[in-house]
């Protein structure tokens, strides 16, 4: 377990203050071109070939997750991630340009920008799924809550049906409950086997489906 940092009297180094001021000034110095109507004109920054290949591979994996997902809330967030990852790419590219003190304004987003953006997107995916799990738990009615609480941390479909039957839930109702809450309350480990996702458990779902 990592110990919580303690406050101390150490001051931020002056050279760090100067570097931070320089970085901010470089970002603020980027010109904002206006058209004849005094409207901002965007500057287009494209992806190089390697960056585009990495970005497209991630989007295809994200699309596969959407295709196999049953929860509308999860699908909606996964779709939004595709917009977020593009913004992260631009933010990271401009930040790298400002830090490295490059003379020319960036014209290309490179693969390390994309890889960093993907890591950020997966971080937010993980946290969003954890939040959705908590919300899903809160919305359970008494019967579903009772069945959920009495399920083992890992269980087979057959064992889950037996648990549900003990409390008067029919097998088709349990199967629907299981299917509708995949990747929120339940995670499929393999065919016919599931893990219960608690609000307090660590959610390590990634775009490539690994746990």
Residue 133: per-residue pLDDT: 77
**Segment 76-115, tens digit of pLDDT:** 999 999 999 999 999 999 999 999 876 677 889 999 999 9
pTM for the structure as a whole: 0.69
Q: What is the mean pLDDT of the chain?
A: 87
Residue 199: per-residue pLDDT: 65
Cα 16 off chain centre by: 31
Is 163 in contact with 157 (CB distance < 8 Å)? no
Q: In the numeric block, which tokens belong to residue 137?
A: 């738990």
Give me the mean pLDDT over the 47-65 stretch.
96
Is 108 in contact with 47 (CB distance < 8 Å)? yes
Distances (CA, A) of 62 to 42, 51, 118, 136, 186: 28, 17, 11, 22, 19
Name 90's Cβ contacts closer than 8 Å, sequence gap at least 6.
45, 109
């Amino acid at each position: 377990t990592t110990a919580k940092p303690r406050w101390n009297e150490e001051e931020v180094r002056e050279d760090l203050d100067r570097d931070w001021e320089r970085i901010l000034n470089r970002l603020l110095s980027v010109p904002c071109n206006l058209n004849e109507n005094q409207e901002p004109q965007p500057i287009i920054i494209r992806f190089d070939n390697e960056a585009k290949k990495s970005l497209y591979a991630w989007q295809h994996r994200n699309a596969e997750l959407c295709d196999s997902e049953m929860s509308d809330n999860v699908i909606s967030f996964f779709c939004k991630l595709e917009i977020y990852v593009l913004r992260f790419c631009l933010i990271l590219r401009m930040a790298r340009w400002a830090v490295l003190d490059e003379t020319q304004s960036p014209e290309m987003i490179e693969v390390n920008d994309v890889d960093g953006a993907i890591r950020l997107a997966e971080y937010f995916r993980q946290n969003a799924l954890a939040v959705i799990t908590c919300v899903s738990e809160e919305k359970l009615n008494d019967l579903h809550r009772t069945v959920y609480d009495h399920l083992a941390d890992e269980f087979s479909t057959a064992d889950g049906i037996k648990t549900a039957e003990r409390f008067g839930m029919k097998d088709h109702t349990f199967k629907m409950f299981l299917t509708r809450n995949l990747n929120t309350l339940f995670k499929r480990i393999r065919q016919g086997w599931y893990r219960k996702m608690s609000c307090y458990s660590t959610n390590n779902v990634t775009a490539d489906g690994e746990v």
